């Protein structure tokens, strides 16, 4: 069998990209989602003011996170450590049947 000359017609992908990749040098200006409800679009500036004035949870740590969640209308107390919560919410040792249930993927053993 003779070798074919298909090498001359190399595969050309059907998709074509226009121009080179260019990434923006600064982030896009914040704006409401185009399909947001009209009342959300109207009050977006107020939201940005509140968002920018609130303490960042990544900088201040978990203390400000707990404080901000209590201000934002979280129901009930916010606990800093697990022992401050009621004992029913503490982590507990798993029973053998609970371990088997997890290992079986929740399938019934009956």
Q: Would you state the structure tokens that stand for residue 56, as one six-digit string?
A: 């960042």
Going by the DSSP 8-state scheme, the letter that residue 3 receives in this structure is P
Q: Which residues of 31-46 are buried (b: 16+ CB within 10 A; e: fewer)?
A: ebeeeeeeeeeeeeee
Who wins on pLDDT, 91 or 26? 26
Whole-number mean pLDDT of the chain?
Answer: 78
d(CA 65, CA 44): 23
The whole-number pLDDT of residue 34 equals 94
The whole-number pLDDT of residue 51 equals 86
- In contact, 101 and 87? CB cutoff 8 Å: no
Q: Would you state the structure tokens that stand for residue 74, as one six-digit string?
A: 């979280």
Q: How far is CA 69 from CA 10, 55, 85, in A?
A: 60, 11, 16
d(CA 81, CA 71): 19
pTM for the model: 0.32
């Amino acid at each position: 069998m003779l070798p074919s000359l298909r090498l001359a017609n190399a595969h050309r992908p059907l998709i074509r990209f226009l121009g080179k990749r260019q990434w923006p040098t600064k982030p896009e200006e914040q704006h409401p989602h185009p399909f947001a409800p009209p009342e959300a679009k109207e009050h977006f500036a107020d939201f940005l003011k509140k968002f920018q004035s609130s303490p960042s949870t990544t900088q201040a740590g978990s203390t400000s996170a707990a404080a901000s969640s209590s201000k934002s209308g979280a129901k009930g107390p916010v606990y800093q450590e697990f022992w401050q919560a009621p004992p029913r919410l503490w982590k507990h040792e798993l029973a053998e049947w609970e371990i088997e249930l997890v290992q079986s993927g929740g399938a019934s053993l009956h």
